[in-house]
Amino acid sequence: MTEAQEKRKAKRRSKRGTVCHCCGKTLTFCWSCRCGFAICQECMYENEWGMTCNGITWQCPDCSAQNGFGNQ
Ligand SMILES: [Zn+2]
Ligand SMILES: [Zn+2]
């Protein structure tokens, strides 16, 4: 591998992202809890029936805290 390729790869790795605790993918946006739990939009949609009961807040499966959908 050339030095240029090495640099490009390092740059991509350092790009900010959040790892979804559900599917393990790194995404630019995840719903996150103050305890550190994060879930992507896709997994949130799939697990909506178990995460929210009113569509306004979702409950963190790790610490049971209520998190709002609108404040981030
Ligand atoms: Zn996910
Ligand atoms: Zn939590």
* Residues 42-59 pLDDT 10s: 999 999 999 998 889 999
Model confidence pTM above 0.85: no
CA distances to 7, 35, 48, 50 from 42, rounded to whole Å, are 31, 20, 10, 14
Task: Give pLDDT tens digits along the chain (72 positions).
Answer: 777 766 666 555 546 899 999 999 999 999 999 999 999 999 999 999 999 988 899 999 999 999 999 754
Taking the CA of 26 as reference, the closest ligand is 1
Cα(43) to ligand 1 centroid in Å equals 4
Near ion ligand 1, which residues have CB within 5 Å?
20, 22-23, 40, 43
Cα(25) to ligand 1 centroid in Å equals 6
